[in-house]
Amino acid sequence: MNRETRRIFRRLSSDASAILGFALLIFFVIVAILAPFIASPPPGRDPYIMPIVTWSSNPLPPSPEHPFGVAGKRDIFYGVVWGTRTAFRVGIIVTLISTALGLLIGSVAGYFGKLWDEILMRITDIFMAIPFLVAAMVLTTILGTGLDKVMMAMTVFSWMGPARLIRGNILQVKEEQFVLAAKALGVSDFSIIIRHVLPNTIFPVLIQASMRMGSLVITAAALSFLGVGAPQGYADWGALLNYARNWMLGGQGEALKYWYMTVFPGVAMVLFVLAWNLVGDALRDAFDPRLRL
């Protein structure tokens, strides 16, 4: 391990909120990996579809059999556990693709500048001017429901952040003399981007990506909640909240009667977002060159 890596580790391990963030994240990863053992799916069925456990459409409160209760005929515990996998899947895939897309567009705009910059950045501006949630809803309506469609819609509308970030960073790094020095050596533009510019600009983007991971899951949940996201019965935190829609106000005189319908998926979501934000914060502090000594 080189000195730089050691330094980053030292810094991360001395920060309480970083430890909390990573602990939460590891917890979610374990839950996602062990999902089949924590909440075993009925044999021969798609495990991502929450099995129907009752024929009454009324929610049931937590019981030894259904520790988080039942909503929309389905077990909330099962949904929360398998929903972790969905959350990771949506978060990681959308973040990866949108970041990659943003990187590509931002680097071309930033490095080559001039007309490229002008065209690509105006396109970025247009995309940024469209309200994200509305656009994603429209797009899912056109494409049809389904998790892959949701992810596609979200990807289309979330590459602009990384694109602008990377462009700004590249404009800054491009002025550094080491880029000029590489040109003087005869290094090609492509290798200059890959070997010199990106390594010096990538960290803020990765940090931003980890923070976005959390918010993307919220957006996905919002879409599911609005009914344009995951299909019926899909193990997804947003979909679980969707079941709570009609019961949110509680029964007569008992406002909190159906608390379990919102609290369990809600807490899962909050902790998931918190984990990514804490990790993002911790990474930012660890990589901030100004804090280096």
Partner 1 sequence: MNNVPLLQVEDLKKYFPIKAGVFRRTVGWVKAVDGVSFEVFPEETLGIVGESGCGKSTLGMTVMRLYEPTAGSIFFQGEDISSLPASQLKGVRRNIQMIFQDPFTSLDPRMHIGSIVEEGMKVHRVASPPEVRRRALDLLEKVGLGAEYFSRYPHEFSGGQRQRIGIARALALNPRLVVADEPVSSLDVSVRSQILNLLKDLKREYQLTYIFISHDLAVVRQICDRVIVMYLGKVVEIADGDTFFSSPSHPYSVALTSAVPVPDPDYEVKRIILSGDVPSPINPPEGCRFHTRCPVAQEVCSQVEPALEEVGENQWVACHFPGSLSWERA
Query: Which residues in this chain contact partner 1 in the complex, by CB under 8 A?
Result: 2-4, 176-178, 180-188, 191, 195-196, 199-200, 289, 292
Of residues 160 and 173, the one with the C-beta less far from partner 1: 173
Task: Tell me whether residue 187 or residue 222 sits nearer to partner 1 (CB atom).
Answer: 187
Separation of alpha carbons 147 and 153, rounded Å: 10
Nearest approach, Cβ of residue 290 and partner 1 (Å): 13
Q: How far is the CB of 1 from partner 1 (least distance, A)?
A: 13
Nearer to partner 1, 20 or 182 (CB): 182
Amino acid at 29: V
Q: How far apart are CA 192 and CA 183, in angstroms?
A: 8
∠ Cα 41 22 85 (to 5°) = 20
Q: Which is nearer to partner 1, 206 or 226 (CB)?
A: 206
Shortest distance (Å) from residue 209 CB to partner 1: 19
Whichever of 198 and 213 has its CB closer to partner 1, that residue is: 198
Q: How far is the CB of 205 from partner 1 (least distance, A)?
A: 15
Distance CA 218, CA 268 (A): 11
- 186 vs 253 by CB, closer to partner 1: 186
Q: How far is the CB of 184 from partner 1 (least distance, A)?
A: 5
- Smallest gap from residue 160 Cβ to partner 1 (A): 22
- Contact by Cβ (8 Å): 101, 165: no
